[in-house]
Structure 1
Amino acid sequence: MNNEQLFRILIEQGFSKGDVTIFDKYTSPDFIENQHGMKPQNVEGVKNAIRYLHKAFEDFSLNIEDIVSYEDKVWGRMTGRGQQIGQFGPMPPTGKKIEITVIDIMRFKDGKLIEHWGVPDRLAAMEQLGMKPPPKFIMKLMALFR
C-alpha cells in the first residue's frame, strides 16, 4: 500500500467514519501530532479529537478534494461537514450545519503514519455556528497583514 492510499484510509475510515482503531494499525509508536491545540500531541490526541468531533457533529465527514504525494509526505485539501448536535468549544448545540476547509499533511515511514499536521478553518466553523469575533479583534488581525 502506498502513502496516498494510507492517507485515504486514515481520513475515510478514521476521521469520516470515526473508527479510531484504524490508527492503531497504521500509526508508528514514534508518531508526533503537530496540530495546534491538540492534547496530548500523540495518537491518543488524534483519537480524542475524532471522538469529540463525532460527538459534536452528526454525520461528521471529511471529503478529500485534492491530494498530492511527494516522497514521504501526503498533502490533502478536504471539506469538513456536519450538523452540530453537541457542545463544540464554547458553543452549545445549535443544530446548524457547517462546511469548512481542512488541510492535512501526513508523513509516513515504513508504511506507518509518523507525523501529522492538521489545519482546520476553525474561524469559519465558529462563524457558521453563530459565534462572531468582536470587531476590534478583526481590526487587529487585519492590521497584521498590512
Structure 2
Amino acid sequence: MSSTDDNKKLVQGFYDTLMSSGPEIAFDKYCDAENYTQHNPRLVNGRAGLLEFGRTAAMCKGFTLKIHRMAAQDDLVWVQAETTGLHWPDEPNPVDPASLRHVVIDIFRIEGGKLIEHWDVIQRIPPFTASGNDMI
C-alpha cells in the first residue's frame, strides 16, 4: 500500500492534470479505467462520468477550482476545494459566475496507485453566514 503522502500527491496530480490538460488525460493517467466507481448522483461510473463533469465545467463561464485543504488516511484522501461558476446544464446560467461559489468535499479511494472510487459533497456558499465564518 502506498503511503498517505504518496496518495495525496496522486490526488494533487489528478487535480493539476484535470485543470491543465482536461478530464480525458487526467482520467487515463490517474484513474482505474476498469473499476472506477462514482458516487456523485449526477455522474455514471467510469471514464464517462468524469468526462461528463469535464464537459459541464467547460461550459461554465468563469469556472475555477481551488484546493484549500487535503488530508489522507490509509487508502482515502479528502479534499476541501472551492469552485466558482459551476452549475449543471439543468440549472440557470449565473449572471455573475464569480458570485456562484461552492465548497466541495471530494473523497477518493486509491488502490494500486490509481483512483478507484470517488464521493463528493457540493454545497453553494451563501453570501453570508449566521456565524460570520466562511465555509472555506
TM superposition score category, shorter chain reference:
0.7 to 0.9
Gaps of 5+ in 2: 128-136
Q: Which amino acid aligns with 2:41?
A: H
Once residues 24 and 61 of structure 1 are traced to their aligned partners in structure 2, the CA distance between those partners, rounded to angstroms, is 22
More strand by share: 1
- Asked whether the equivalents of residues 32 and 43 of structure 1 are also in contact (C-alpha less than 8 Å), the reply is no
CA RMSD of aligned residues (A): 2.4
Question: Using a 3 Å threshold, how does the CA distance of structure 1 residues 10 and 54 change in structure 2: closer, same or farther?
Answer: same
- 4+ long deviations beyond 4 Å: none
**Distance in 2, Cα, partners of 1:66 & 1:117:** 16
The C-alpha deviation readout for 1:11-39, integer Å capped at 9, x for no partner, is 2221x33611121111112110111221x
Structure 1 gap ranges (5+):
129-146
SS of 1:75 mapped into structure 2 = strand
Larger-gyration structure (1/2): 1
Number of aligned residue pairs: give it: 120
2:17 to 13, 28, 31: 13
Tell me the TM-score normalised to structure 1 length. 0.71
- What TM-score, normalized by structure 2, do the two folds share? 0.76
- Corresponding position of 2:122: 120
Aligned to 1:143: none
Identity level (%): 24
Q: Secondary structure at the match of 1:48?
A: helix
Match of 1:67, SS state, is strand
Deviation at 1:2, TM superposition (A): 1.2
Counterpart of 1:91 in structure 2 is 92
Q: Is the 8 A contact 1:35 1:117 kept in 2?
A: yes
Matches within 5 A, 1:1-146: 2-14=6-18, 16-17=19-20, 19-20=22-23, 21-28=25-32, 29-38=34-43, 40-58=44-62, 60-82=63-85, 88-92=89-93, 94-97=95-98, 98-121=100-123, 124=124
Q: Distance in 2 between matches of 1:57 and 1:119?
A: 22
Are the structure 2 counterparts of residues 91 and 18 from structure 1 closer, same or farther at C-alpha, using a change threshold of 3 Å?
farther
**8 Å Cα contact 1:18-1:51 kept in structure 2:** no
Q: What code does the residue aligned with 1:91 have?
A: P
